[in-house]
Structure 1
Amino acid sequence: MEQPFRMKSNGQINIVLHSKNKPEPKAAGQKEMAKDSKELEFLKEIDEELNHLVGLEEVKKVIKEIYAWIIVNKKREKLGLKTGNQVLHMMFKGNPGTGKTTVARFLGKLFHKVEVLSKGHLIEAERADLVGEYIGHTAQKTRDLIKKANGGILFIDEAYSLARGGEKDFGKEAIDTLVKHMEDKSHEFVLILAGYSKEMDYFLSLNPGLESRFPIILEFPDYTVDQLIEIGKIILQEREYVLTPDAERRLRDHLVRVKSRLQNGRFSNGRYIRNIIEKSIRVQAMRLVLHNDFNRKELMTIRSSDLVFPDED
């Protein structure tokens, strides 16, 4: 039966709704059609969930490509055709607050749904969770962490810190242990290394054989001012608050100034806007208490005077 997906050269997915092949026996054909319909339906679910993520257009496109690749490999395997080696270890590069952990968690659910991973849970870790204090301690800590991640995703943030101490640092032992297990147990867990772009590039330069073990490298760009405003509105909407037009203008002006000042620098993106919103909600609460003003509209409204920015504390 014709595949429900076709990949264009630009990476987009074409959905094939009708097959021109000769019909299969009724029972078998209906079963296959039901399965194909389920896969198509799940692709639509992926689209819908990814649309809730602000920005990240290239990341979203690659995720859908990965799903299509997994499905097509299953179809090829079923027909006795050669399949590509599905190594799904990844590297995420970008500043904090750009959605790396959110995407990792989504991939865990996706891989569980398509039976690539048995559990699909996410284990978050950093250098201190892997590196021990004496010889042999690091390897054991790293193995224990991999065991916890079995059936899911092991997400290591600021992974470049494992190479900071040079040859004698125990971080190298953690890297060696990770490499061994990601090869020996490539179908039991997915390893995602994450961190700032420049530091991750340097990290790879220190370990020439490492890059080839991560066939999927995703760049998470900083959010634009419009995207940050959209994220802020989503956070507020979830908590049943709204910005006044003046408050939105003041927030936008502030973000423009901050991003201009931090050109090509480090910016915490989603975390930055979330911190502003949370602080402003507390300031609004104090204003309402002082004025004894608790009508529904005021309880939901964040005014310009409620906004507090980090450089104004």
Structure 2
Amino acid sequence: MENHEDTQSSGSEKHTTIHCCAESGDIDAFEKLLQDNPALLNERNAIMLETPLHLSAGNNKTNIVKFLLDWRGDDKVDLEAKNTYGETPLHVAAKNGCNEAARLLLAHGALIEAKTKYGVTPLMLSVYHSLRAEDCSIVRTLLEHNADCDATDDEDMNPVDHLSKIQESGKLRDLLLSHQQEQRKTKVQEAISKQNERMDALEKELSNIVGLDELKTQLRKWAKGILLNERRKAIGLKNVTAGRLPHMAFLGNPGTGKTMVAGILGRLLHNVGILQIGNVKKVERADLVGKYIGQTGYKTREKIQEAEGGILFVDKAYRLILEEGSCRDYGLEALEEIMSCMDNGKVLVIFAGYIEAMERAISSNEGFSRRVTNIFHFKDLSCEELANVLHLKMHNQAKNSLLQGFKLHSSCTINAISELIKRETIKTQRMKMNGSLVDIMLNNAKRNLDVRISDDCTERDEFLTIKLEDFEAAVKFLPQ
């Protein structure tokens, strides 16, 4: 860049570029250049790639800064434009101690936690300026706007750490430490409040799961661990990591709630920060295994990609493992693709299936057994648990449910439904069906209600209330 004398006061020479005018504060020449060519608003200079806002802010030319921030043209000044080092105008103002320019930028919404390509914040740069100039003004300005004293750069050091390397004590260090302590108190209180909210949400979700006490206990432990990590970070503890994703196996008969729990699990783990999203991608062997060489790997990787950030739920996973004496097929290739993604932290995998078949599959494959360490058994539902599921389904109906708006008569207590199921079904029947038995009972009961309603009925509640006698009729048509 050419050197130009400041002619704003002498008027003997006019600045010829937008950047020279911004640097010198020649407001008359600056206005004329910009009005003649509005495209110069965010024009970059050579080498440093700085905009007029960078140069005016870094030289505390507040008249230019104000003009740019108040510009009413079609384009807006870029507050977060970055130069060669990744510095925004606020960075440049901070490192040069340009206090008034920094205040103007912050008042117009400049990001106080913006980071350079090396992870440096404006507060870090202001600290070094204050040491050189023996003036804490720019640091105070940033702290007044709640600049984070615990923000770290690429060397994992915060402003206080950098200062501690240079001096043991002093006004600047005392100033930073005082603000750091206050910020940490606030962060801890916010983390505690957030923890309480999330744990309350967790308990609400868990109330929709019947039985599975072991799984519920483990979920509470995971949730509390993640939320405590947030509190650890709030008080400045470093090297706090989330750990590996808790890949799992759900073992149990059909209808025991494995798919439903996976959906709840996805929402819970997303809510406490373990998963990026709460989605569950359910797949079976046919979704993963191809008919020809090369198909299986492609199909499996495609499904894994669709599940990234959430849960890949592999139902009847034992079908991917070869039975002893069987001819080779492509199921094992699909399993190996899934296992290869389990260490990268991008997807949580849940394998599900019948108890005995899944236990054989897990024990027969070393990679499988090493990665799947959280194994939960979904027991067959008792008569009382089935009655509880029925009540939960009626009280938490999906929008597209055929029973939306319907309710249970007071005679349909959990105990009454439990006794009915126990009296009218046999154990093997319940084992085969579990939760699906409840779905059939509800649908059959609703149909019986439709038949039972008389032609002259006008009472709204009569149209929507399912009675015990409807369930007594419903169980007569359960599959054997």
Q: What TM-score, normalized by structure 1, do the two folds share?
A: 0.80
1:177 deviation in Å? 1.0
Aligned counterpart, 2:34: none
User: CA–CA distance in 2 between the matches of 1:151 and 1:312?
Assistant: 39
- 1:268 is matched with which residue? 433
Paired with 1:108 and 1:311, the residues of 2 have a C-alpha distance of: 32
Instruction: Give the match for residue 65 of structure 1.
Output: 221
Q: Go from structure 1 to structure 2 and tell me whether the alpha carbon gap of 1:118 and 1:251 turns closer, same or farther (over 3 Å shift).
A: closer
* Matched position secondary structure for 2:431: coil
More strand, by proportion: 1
The residue that corresponds to 1:20 in the other structure is none
**Which digits, 9 at most, give the CA deviation of each residue in 1:44-63, with x for residues without a partner?**
22112212322222221111
Kept after mapping to 2: 8 A contact 1:246/1:304: no
Q: Separation in 1 of the partners of 2:206 and 2:413?
A: 29
Whether the aligned pair in 2 keeps the contact of 1:104 and 1:122 (CA below 8 Å) is: yes
Cα distance in 2 between the residues matched to 1:41 and 1:301? 36
Contact kept? 2:441, 2:478, Cα under 8 Å: no
Q: Is the 8 A contact 2:309 2:346 kept in 1?
A: yes
Going from structure 1 to structure 2, the CA distance change for 1:164 and 1:275 (only over 3 Å counts) comes to: farther
Q: How far apart, CA to CA, are the structure 1 residues paired with 2:338 and 2:273?
A: 23
Task: Indicate the residue corresponding to 1:121 in structure 2.
Answer: 279
Aligned to 2:443: 278
| CA deviations over 1:270-303 (Å, ceiling 9, x no partner) | 22111111122012213326x4434223211334
Q: Which amino acid in the other structure matches residue 229 of structure 1?
A: A
Q: Which one scores higher on RCO, CA 8 angstroms, separation ≥ 6?
A: 1
Equivalent residue in structure 1 for 2:300, among 138, 142, 154: 142
Matching residue within 392, 401, 404 for 1:234: 392
Instruction: Give the SS at the match of 1:245.
Output: coil
Alignment partner, residue 56 of structure 1: 212
* CA offset digits 1:62-115 (Å, max 9, x no partner): 111111233345566762357584232111111222222222122222232333
How far apart are the structure 1 equivalents of 2:444 and 2:277? Answer: 37
How far did 1:160 drift?
1.0
Q: Which amino acid in 1 is paired with 2:350? A: I
Structure 1 residues 269 and 79: CA distance shift in structure 2, 3 A = same
Which aligned pairs between 1:2-81 and structure 2 lie closer than 5 A? 25-73=181-229, 79-80=237-238
- Give the drift of 1:268: 2.3
Contact 2:249 / 2:352 at 8 angstroms: preserved in 1? Answer: yes
Note if contact 1:247-1:305 (Cα within 8 Å) is conserved in structure 2: no
Q: Which of the pair has more CA radius of gyration?
A: 2
Q: Which amino acid aligns with 1:286?
A: V
Question: What is the root-mean-square deviation of aligned Cα atoms in Å?
Answer: 2.9
Q: Is the 8 A contact 1:59 1:220 kept in 2?
A: no
- Distance in 2, matches of 1:244 and 1:75, equals 46
> What is the deviation of 1:248?
7.5
Q: Distance in 2 between matches of 1:226 and 1:294?
A: 35
Q: Which runs of 5 or more structure 1 residues have no equivalent in the other structure?
A: 1-23
What displacement does 1:311 show?
4.4
Shift of 1:35: 1.6
Moved more, 241-250 or 269-278: 241-250
Question: Against the structure 1 CA distance between its residues 164 and 140, is the aligned structure 2 distance closer, same or farther, given a 3 Å change threshold?
Answer: same
Q: How far, CA to CA, are the matches of 2:237 and 2:420 in structure 1?
A: 58
Contact 1:131 1:174 (8 Å CA) reproduced: yes
Provide the C-alpha distance between the structure 2 equivalents of 1:302 and 1:259, rounded to a whole number of angstroms: 19
Q: Does 1:177 align with 2:329?
A: no
User: What are the Cα deviations for residues 244-286 of structure 1, in whole angstroms up to 9, with x where unaligned?
Assistant: 63897875345225665329x8332222111111122012213
Following superposition, the deviation at residue 27 of structure 1 comes to 3.2
More displaced, 265-274 or 149-158? 265-274
What's the counterpart of residue 245 of structure 1? 411
- Percent identity reads 30
Range 29-38 or range 246-255, more displaced: 246-255
Structure 2 counterpart of 1:308, one-letter code: A
* Bigger mean CA offset, 244-253 vs 79-88: 244-253
Cα distance in 1 for residues equivalent to 2:424 and 2:365: 35
Counterpart-to-counterpart distance in 1, 2:192 and 2:210:
29
Amino acid aligned to 2:220: K
* Corresponding residue SS for 1:235: helix
Cα 1:164/1:295, change in 2 over 3 Å:
farther
Are the aligned partners of 1:156 and 1:193 in contact in 2 as well (CA < 8 Å)? yes
SS at match of 2:367: coil
Equivalents in 2 of 1:90, 1:256: separation in Å? Answer: 32
